[in-house]
Amino acid sequence: MGRGWEGMALRMMRGRDFEFTVTGAEDVTAHCRRLSFADGGMLGATGVHPTMWVRLWFPDAGRPHQRAYTLVDPDPAGGAFGIDFALHDGPASRWASTAGVGDTIQATVQGSAFAAPDPTPARMFLVGDRASAPAIGSLLRALPDVPATVWLETQHGSDEHLPLARTGRDHHDLRFVPRENAGARLAAQVRTALPDLLGDPAEAYVWIACDTATTRDLARFVRRDLDVPKPRTHALGYWRP
């Protein structure tokens, strides 16, 4: 399957291509399926960082369709990782719902990066949804001694059982927010609570990754209204409604 103009653009930006092989599957929740993969040599070639993501290529009516997914529990020594797929209508979900051991998929690594906050923050404030839940989990594991307040927007009640909720850390404050009014409820809760929780903006770290409009709104609020320095924030829209 050709990759069209997107594939050409990624090659020009020195994207690196790999082939992943499915080694297992499990239903994490009623609306989330995790596939385990052998990495085709990727992790040894690229290294690993928190929130690391790859682009997977899916067939869609004879045309290439690429989506970005965060790695779950990457194991460079074993050449393995997992990826969580939300189960809804779409080419990626259709592929994931039927994929079995031995199936392969093409992938491109380009654009994923992470700069750890320096100095280490006194507290993290993480805002996301089920799409960014694997990335949030990787941040909690990368900085296990840093307490975190997490707002997780949910599409289904089962999202409250996603793995990041089982961090085993008493100093994390996990807050579930049902999605309403295109993200307005999530934005309102963060705007209301964050000013009293923030403390010294220079000692905090605010990470935001949900739908694009909500991410932009909250990023402006954090930087302009709360004066959190840009190096102490990260904001990336993960998807568009």
Query: What would the 3-class secondary structure string for 154-178 be?
Result: ECCHHHHHCHHHCCCCCCCEEEEEE
Model confidence band, residue 4 (pLDDT cutoffs 50, 70, 90): low
- Give domain status of residue 83, yes or no: yes
Residues 136 and 205 reside in one and the same domain: yes
What's residue 176's pLDDT? 95
What's residue 7's pLDDT? 52
The domain tally of the chain equals 2
Domain edge (last residue) among 109, 143, 169 = 109
Residues 54 and 132 reside in one and the same domain: no
238 versus 84: the higher-pLDDT residue is: 84
- Give domain status of residue 116, yes or no: no
Structure-token pair, residue 122: 């006194």
Centroid of chain to Cα 218: 17
Determine if the peptide bond prior to 119 is cis (ω within 30°).
Answer: yes
Residues 105 and 177 reside in one and the same domain: no
**Per-residue pLDDT reduced to its tens digit, 91-146:** 999 999 999 999 999 999 988 888 889 999 999 999 999 999 999 999 999 999 99
- Give domain status of residue 208, yes or no: yes
**Per-residue pLDDT reduced to its tens digit, 184-236:** 999 999 999 999 999 999 999 999 999 999 999 999 999 999 999 999 999 99
Residues 75 and 130 reside in one and the same domain: no
Nearest-angstrom CA–CA distance, 136 and 208:
10
Residues 20 and 85 reside in one and the same domain: yes
Domain edge (last residue) among 109, 139, 157 = 109
Mean pLDDT along residues 81-92: 92
**Per-residue pLDDT reduced to its tens digit, 139-148:** 999 999 999 9
Residues 128 and 223 reside in one and the same domain: yes
Structure-token pair, residue 136: 């949030």
Domain edge (last residue) among 56, 76, 109 = 109
Residues 100 and 178 reside in one and the same domain: no
Residues 165 and 80 reside in one and the same domain: no
What's residue 116's pLDDT? 87
- Give domain status of residue 114, yes or no: no
Q: What CATH number is associated with residue 141?
A: 3.40.50.80
- Give domain status of residue 55, yes or no: yes
If we measure between CA atoms, which residue out of 160, 158, 210, 159 comes closest to residue 189? 210
- Give domain status of residue 115, yes or no: no
**Per-residue pLDDT reduced to its tens digit, 11-34:** 544 679 999 999 999 999 999 999
Residue 165 has pLDDT above 80, yes or no: no
What's residue 5's pLDDT? 47
- Give domain status of residue 117, yes or no: no
For residue 37, the enclosing domain spans: 4-109
Residues 185 and 98 reside in one and the same domain: no
If we measure between CA atoms, which residue out of 209, 211, 1 comes closest to residue 112? 209
6 versus 76: the higher-pLDDT residue is: 76
- Give domain status of residue 118, yes or no: no
Residues 137 and 92 reside in one and the same domain: no
